[in-house]
């Protein structure tokens, strides 16, 4: 063959290759023969239901756990990590969903924690802050500086600090575990921009997320795990959402969001607000009717959570008309048949050290009692897997914890059920179960008000949508409204639409 003298472009370097990884805990096999690789500058998503083995695999890569079998290669060299520090020195950085930051220390202190530069035996703060400033410049991040205290930063800014930490140790592989779980919609764009910058530096990003929209936005390839096994690896551009969901859950999902049952008419008003307000809300006019799901959209700080807390009685309305009852506190809200599934289930919805049964009975114990059989029926209704009543809730997956929260409110048979981010941090199978239950409740006559930062979920589940901005209703949209229409109302300047 004639040599034209042209140099053929080489394939990107394989930064990380994991082959045949297996792991057991107390004789229980949690990973079986997992293969995973990532190239320089690639975003490789790792997806699967809770319990699929994603976190265990990443902790093996990060040196937290050691594999029982299999090989890890970084840059073509076989590596074995007995401690996370060894993995870090090999170029592996992992950003957990719950950040490993010291809030009472500065940004620079956190970036160089345990690796502080010294001069004449003392910490060289000037060098440490200058290095941190250079890394922030590389990420084009100027909203805070090296001397700012971490406790004063937003969640999105704290995530930037974690990424700066990874860059400071010359990470070649960055693992992100549910990086958008605590971010507002407008902050997700910042994360996308930072990930693109990591790619441009040739860093391989392993991205764990339950949000398939993010997977398709960011990933070059997707690896699917199920029950500790490797289902397959596909090019993100060559697979559909439906096909990916089927790989994850092992069955067809006929529709991402359940349809209404027939042409059932919306029932009587369950709650009516007229010019209602408090210190955070003003002029709220809203009617919730039996049998409908009303979605609530809005940017961070728009008043979404304040609205459901006011209706529930946690932050009561102080003016306007609320009928048939205006709860002045949480107990009055519960007595009126109003339930609230809070945004933070661990802090506000559950007692983690108590059993599933005790948590399911938290609400009803204030108004009556149920037998063990009744609780078992409720756990079956919310599809808790496995439906064991004696398990401490802290040992359940995020999806199953959310199902226990739902069971807690179902004991009340609520007339109005308020959902604040109903599927945050749960896998696609648990999402489907929660969506099905919400639609079942609505078809049974419950009035549902739902907040969601995931616009596809909001649009797919809602019979109509209310958009909040600056504590007021900016406008109303019908079922099937576009994401652009929602965001136009949520972010617009000037008078409400």
- What average pLDDT does the segment 373-392 reach? 83
- What average pLDDT does the segment 59-84 reach? 95
Which among 466, 470, 496 has a CA at the least distance from the CA of 481? 466
Angle among Cα 264, 266, 271 to the nearest 5 degrees reads: 155
Q: Which helix (H) or strand (E) holds 84?
A: helix 84-89
Q: What local confidence, expressed as pLDDT, does residue 96 receive?
A: 83
Q: What local confidence, expressed as pLDDT, does residue 370 receive?
A: 53
pLDDT of 372 over the 60 cut? no
pLDDT of 395 over the 70 cut? yes
- Most confidently modeled range among 70-74, 192-196, 441-445: 70-74
Give 486's Cβ-side CA count (13 Å radius): 25
Q: What local confidence, expressed as pLDDT, does residue 2 receive?
A: 46
Question: pLDDT per residue over 253-264, tens digit each?
Answer: 555 688 765 555
Q: What is the Cα 326 distance to its own chain's centre?
A: 32
Q: What local confidence, expressed as pLDDT, does residue 364 receive?
A: 81
Whether omega for the bond prior to residue 386 falls within 30 degrees of 0, making it cis, is yes
- What average pLDDT does the segment 161-182 reach? 88
- Mean residue pLDDT of the chain comes to 88
Question: pLDDT per residue over 222-243, tens digit each?
Answer: 999 988 999 999 999 999 988 8
pLDDT confidence band for 378 (50 / 70 / 90): confident
The dihedral through the CA atoms of 172, 178, 181, 182 has a sign that is negative
pLDDT top residue among 287 and 190: 287
CATH architecture type of domain 269-350+412-491:
3-Layer(aba) Sandwich (3.40)
pLDDT of 9 over the 80 cut? no
Are 399 and 368 within 8 A, CB to CB? no
CATH architecture type of domain 14-249:
3-Layer(aba) Sandwich (3.40)
pLDDT top residue among 319 and 425: 319
The CATH 3.40.50.300 portion of the chain extends over 14-249, 269-350+412-491
- β-partners of residue 204 are 173
- What average pLDDT does the segment 303-331 reach? 94
Residue 87 CA to residue 95 CA, distance in Å, equals 13
pLDDT confidence band for 77 (50 / 70 / 90): very high
pLDDT of 274 over the 90 cut? yes
- What average pLDDT does the segment 14-38 reach? 93
Are 471 and 281 within 8 A, CB to CB? yes
């Amino acid at each position: 063959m004639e040599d034209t003298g042209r140099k053929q472009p080489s394939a990107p370097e394989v930064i990380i290759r994991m082959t045949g990884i297996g792991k057991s805990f107390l004789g229980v096999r949690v990973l079986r023969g997992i293969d995973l690789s990532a190239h320089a500058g690639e975003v490789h998503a790792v997806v699967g239901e809770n319990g699929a083995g994603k976190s265990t695999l990443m902790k093996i890569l990060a040196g937290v756990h050691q594999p029982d079998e299999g090989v890890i290669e970084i840059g073509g060299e076989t590596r074995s990590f007995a401690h996370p520090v060894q993995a870090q020195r090999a170029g592996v950085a992992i950003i957990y969903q719950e950040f490993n930051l010291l809030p009472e220390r500065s940004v620079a202190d956190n970036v160089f924690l345990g690796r502080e530069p010294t001069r004449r035996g003392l910490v060289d703060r000037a060098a440490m802050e200058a290095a941190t400033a250079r890394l922030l410049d590389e990420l084009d991040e100027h909203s805070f500086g090296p001397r700012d205290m971490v406790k004063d930063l937003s969640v999105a800014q704290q995530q930037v600090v974690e990424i700066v930490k990874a860059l400071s140790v010359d990470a070649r592989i960055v693992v992100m575990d549910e990086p958008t779980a605590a971010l507002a919609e407008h902050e997700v764009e910042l994360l996308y921009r930072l990930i693109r910058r990591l790619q441009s530096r040739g860093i391989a990003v392993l991205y764990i997320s339950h949000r398939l929209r993010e997977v398709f936005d960011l990933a070059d390839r997707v690896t699917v795990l199920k029950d500790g096994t490797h289902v397959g690896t596909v090019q993100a551009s060559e697979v559909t959402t439906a096909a990916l969901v089927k790989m994850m859950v092992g069955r067809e999902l006929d529709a991402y969001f359940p349809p209404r049952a027939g042409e059932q008419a919306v029932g009587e008003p369950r709650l009516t607000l007229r010019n209602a307000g408090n210190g955070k809300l003003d002029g709220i006019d809203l009617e919730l009717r039996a049998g409908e799901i009303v979605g609530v959209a809005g940017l961070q700080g728009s008043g979404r959570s304040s609205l459901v807390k006011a209706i529930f009685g946690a932050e009561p309305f102080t003016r306007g008309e609320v009928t048939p009852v205006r709860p002045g506190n949480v107990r009055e809200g519960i007595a009126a048949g109003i339930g609230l599934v809070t945004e933070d289930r661990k802090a506000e919805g559950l007692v983690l050290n108590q059993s599933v049964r005790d948590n399911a009975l938290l609400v009803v114990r204030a108004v009556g009692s149920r037998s063990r059989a009744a609780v078992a029926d409720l756990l079956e209704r919310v599809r808790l897997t496995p439906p064991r009543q004696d398990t401490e809730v802290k040992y359940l997956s995020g999806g199953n914890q959310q199902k226990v929260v739902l069971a807690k409110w179902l004991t009340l048979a609520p007339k109005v059920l308020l959902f604040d981010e109903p599927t945050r941090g749960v896998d696609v199978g648990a999402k489907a179960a929660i969506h099905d239950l919400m639609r079942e409740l609505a078809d049974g006559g419950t009035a549902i008000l739902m907040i969601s930062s995931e616009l596809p979920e909001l649009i797919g589940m809602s019979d109509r949508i209310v958009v909040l901005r600056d504590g007021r209703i900016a406008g109303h949209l019908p079922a099937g409204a576009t994401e652009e229409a929602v965001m136009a109302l949520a972010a617009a300047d000037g008078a409400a639409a």
